[in-house]
Amino acid sequence: MADLLSDDEIETQLPDDWTREGDEIVRTYEFDDYLRGVNFAQMVGEIAEAQFHHPEIVIRYAEVEIRLTSHEEGGITDADIEMAGLIESERDA
């Protein structure tokens, strides 16, 4: 059971371009077209399965919103921060 992060820990550990919204960390990625977003969502899903830590993924036209929280802990933990970092590194790949 991971510990909930403090407000300061979240603030300092949140990757660039991610924002905190209550018990979630959020980022919206923009794409040139819809299917690039769909493909990105698939990649995020694969990371989620590997990590066994699953975000909410909202696929819109030319953008994908990712929301992360640790449901069992009821807030933001290291698992969320780590997942955001993994998504960022895949996005940059």
Ligand X SMILES: C[C@H](O)[C@H](O)[C@H]1CNC2=NC(N)=NC(=O)C2=N1
**Which pairing describes strands 63-68 and 24-30: parallel, antiparallel, or unpaired?**
antiparallel
- Told to check if 1 binds ligand X by CB under 6 A, we report no
Does the active-site annotation cover 53?
Answer: yes
Of 49, 56, 82, 88, the catalytic one is 49
* Nearer Cβ to ligand X (72/92): 72
- According to DSSP, residue 75 is labeled B
The site that binds ligand X (CB under 6 A) totals a number of residues, namely 7
- Told to check if 54 binds ligand X by CB under 6 A, we report yes
The CB-of-5 to ligand X minimum distance in angstroms stands at 14
Strand partners, 24: 21
Token duo for residue 47: 């990371």
- The CA distance from 56 to 64, in Å, is 10
* Nearer Cβ to ligand X (30/42): 42
Q: Helices marked H in the chain — which ranges?
A: 7-13, 34-51, 78-92
The residues annotated with a catalytic role in the active site are 49, 53-54, 71-72, 80
Q: Which residues bind ligand X (CB under 6 A)?
A: 52-54, 69-72
